[in-house]
Structure 1
Amino acid sequence: MDVRRLELLRELAERGSITAVATATNRTSSAVSQQLKVLEREAGIPLTERRGRGVVLTGAGRMLAQTATDVAVALQRADALWEDFKQAPSGDVSLTIFPTGGQMLLPGLLAAIEDVPGLTLMCSDQDPLLPDFADLTPDFDIVVADAPAILPSWRERGLAVLPLMTEPLDVALPEGHPLSEKKTLSPKDLVDESWIGVPVGFPFDRILRQVETVNGTPARVLQRFVDNGIVESVVAAGHGIAILPRYTTRDHENGLVTRPLTGVRAIRQISALMRPDRAERPSVRLVAEALRAEAQRFVAEHKTESPQT
């Protein structure tokens, strides 16, 4: 079987439609369909079937798509070994990250790799409303995502997952709030409070759901915002309290104080997600390891810092 046609089958498995594959590979939809038909003849068994106006993979198609991933990993590993033999890692690496992750990690990462000969790191940030950052892995070498933990769906996709750091999530209060007298806060302390929330399903919102479960009563959420800066400003103005990430919340600088939340699992796990074949490229490996080192350095620098009193 032709490796290039196997790669098209893999793209169909990940992107979900002939049109999306055609766009990603700079082909026409008819050219993609024709190549998949040739692959099907080579395989001697149906690999796709009609569903509605599109096509989906059969069981055999899904199995062969996984084989295509294994082939791509093997080829990238062979290329990586050869590149390691020939020269230091070089080339372009694309990385995308959620806003507060970029705020924490990109300055140090860019400084760490700026003197690597022949290596170009192209960074972008992404809308945090994206349901699953793993959906970006076909289009970027490294995708930095936050979640309560490593998600099973990332493993099911066969992604390489590199844990970077664990960040505590704290309760943000306006300065002078009665609860600021406490060193830590439990869900019971928060029963009668008004909240400034984030969109439903976000990591911070899931912490608030835990608080509701412990208290047995729904939280009173007055407003919901995507941008943490807006949340900080609204809380500082006295309109409610919020769950915010410890390392990027500017307490005291803008009228906020933060306190650790006890009694629930108040953290977010930050990880780098990669297609397994791309994770074998020397340049991607170098950037991923520099990213992990920067995350470890950042945490070490801040771990002795607790929310200000």
Structure 2
Amino acid sequence: MDVRRLDLLRELAERGSVTAVAEATGRTPSAVSQQLKVLEREAGMPLTQRSGRGVVLTSAGHALARSATEVAVALERATALWDEFRNHPSGEVTMVTFPTVGATILPGVLVDLGSITGLVVRATDLDPELSGFTDLANEYDIVLAHTMPGVLPWGGRGLTVVPLLTEPLDILLPAGHRLAARTSVTSQDLVDETWIGVPPGFPFERILHEIEQVGGQRVEVAQRFSDMRIVEAFVEHGFGVAFIPRYTSGQLPPGLVRRPLRGVASARQIVALVRPDVAERLAVRTVLDVLVSHAARLVRSHAPAAGSAE
């Protein structure tokens, strides 16, 4: 069987439609369909079947698609071994990040990688709902994603998951707020507060539900934004309180303070998602190693000094 046709079958299993495969691979839908028909003849059995206006994989198709993933991993592993033999992680690595990590970790990562001749990193930023991160792995080599501890929307998708850090989420308050003088706040302190929230489906939303359960009162969300700069501006002007990441949000303007939340699990996990074949590439592994190093460095830079109170 032709490896390129096997890869089209794998793409169909992951993307769900011939049209999506065609767009991703730079072919026409008819060309993709023709190649899949050739693969069916090589396999000697149907690999797809009609479903409405599209096609879905048969049981044999799913089995062969899993084998195609194993073939792709093996090929990338062989290439990676040759790159290691040459001691040269060359090539282009595409990456998508969400804004806070893009601002705090990514610049230093690219500075460190800049000394490696032939390694090029192309990065952009997106911040989709939780379920959207897995789809991005079909478009980018490395996807930087965040979720709440215990929530794994990419489970069962066959992706390689590289943990980067667990980041506490503090409460963002105006400097003149009644709670600003506290060293920490609880869900009971926040019962009557108006919130500047995130769009539905974003990670922080789950913590608001937990605050509702602990406080026994519905949380009022007045506005919803995904951009932390907008959130900070609204909080600073007294429109409500909000969550703010402790490590990746950068330095606060003078009119704002952050306080730890006690009594409710308030943190997010930041990970890198990579397709298993892509994870074998030496260039990709090199970028991941530097990401892990910079994430650890960021956490250490926020550790309380010895003998000081948190």
The TM-score, its normalising length taken from structure 1, stands at: 0.94
Where 1:283 maps in the other structure, the secondary structure is helix
**Runs (4+) of structure 1 moved beyond 3 Å?**
127-131, 149-153, 248-252
Q: 1:30 to 1:144 in 2, by over 3 A?
A: same
Q: Confirm or deny: 8 A CA contact 1:99 1:128 kept in the other structure.
A: no
Q: Confirm or deny: 8 A CA contact 1:48 1:58 kept in the other structure.
A: yes
Structure 2 counterparts to residues 131-170 of structure 1, below 5 A = 131-149=131-149, 151-170=151-170
Question: 2-side partners of 1:215 and 1:231: how far apart?
Answer: 23
Partner of residue 256, structure 2? 256
Which 5+ residue runs of structure 2 have no aligned equivalent? Answer: none
Q: Confirm or deny: 8 A CA contact 2:170 2:244 kept in the other structure.
A: yes
Question: 2-side partners of 1:190 and 1:283: how far apart?
Answer: 47
Q: Confirm or deny: 8 A CA contact 1:174 1:255 kept in the other structure.
A: yes
Q: Confirm or deny: 8 A CA contact 1:83 1:89 kept in the other structure.
A: yes
Where 1:22 maps in the other structure, the secondary structure is helix
List per-residue Cα deviations over 1:19-39 (Å, max 9, x = no partner).
111121122211111111121
Across the two proteins, how many residue pairs are aligned to each other? 307
Question: 1:244 aligned to 2:205?
Answer: no
Question: 2-side partners of 1:241 and 1:45: how far apart?
Answer: 60
The TM-score, its normalising length taken from structure 2, stands at: 0.94
List per-residue Cα deviations over 1:175-199 (Å, max 9, x = no partner).
1211122211111111111111111
Question: 1:292 aligned to 2:253?
Answer: no
2:275 corresponds to which letter in structure 1?
R
Question: 1:75 aligned to 2:75?
Answer: yes
Q: Confirm or deny: 8 A CA contact 2:130 2:203 kept in the other structure.
A: no
Name whichever of 283-292 and 52-61 sits farther off.
52-61
Question: 2-side partners of 1:206 and 1:127: how far apart?
Answer: 16
Partner of residue 265, structure 2? 265
Percent of pairs with identical residues: 56
Q: Confirm or deny: 8 A CA contact 2:131 2:154 kept in the other structure.
A: no
Q: 1:45 to 1:19 in 2, by over 3 A?
A: same
Q: CA deviation at 1:87?
A: 3.7
Over the aligned positions, Cα root-mean-square deviation in angstroms equals 1.9
Q: Confirm or deny: 8 A CA contact 1:147 1:270 kept in the other structure.
A: yes
Partner of residue 175, structure 2? 175
Where 2:73 maps in the other structure, the secondary structure is helix
1:36 corresponds to which letter in structure 2?
L
Question: 1-side partners of 2:133 and 2:15: how far apart?
Answer: 14
Larger proportion of helix: 1
Where 2:262 maps in the other structure, the secondary structure is coil
2:67 corresponds to which letter in structure 1?
T
List per-residue Cα deviations over 1:3-31 (Å, max 9, x = no partner).
11110000001111111111211222111
List per-residue Cα deviations over 1:223-281 (Å, max 9, x = no partner).
11121111111111111111111124456524111111111211110101111111111
Which 5+ residue runs of structure 1 have no aligned equivalent? Answer: none
Q: Confirm or deny: 8 A CA contact 1:47 1:59 kept in the other structure.
A: yes
Q: CA deviation at 1:132?
A: 1.9
Partner of residue 197, structure 1? 197
1:211 corresponds to which letter in structure 2?
I
Partner of residue 125, structure 1? 125
List per-residue Cα deviations over 1:201-228 (Å, max 9, x = no partner).
2111211111011112210111111211
Partner of residue 231, structure 2? 231
Where 1:154 maps in the other structure, the secondary structure is coil
Question: 1:275 aligned to 2:279?
Answer: no
Structure 2 counterparts to residues 54-73 of structure 1, below 5 A = 54-73=54-73
Question: 1-side partners of 2:274 and 2:248: how far apart?
Answer: 25
Question: 2-side partners of 1:27 and 1:183: how far apart?
Answer: 59
Q: CA deviation at 1:152?
A: 4.0
Question: 2-side partners of 1:299 and 1:250: how far apart?
Answer: 13
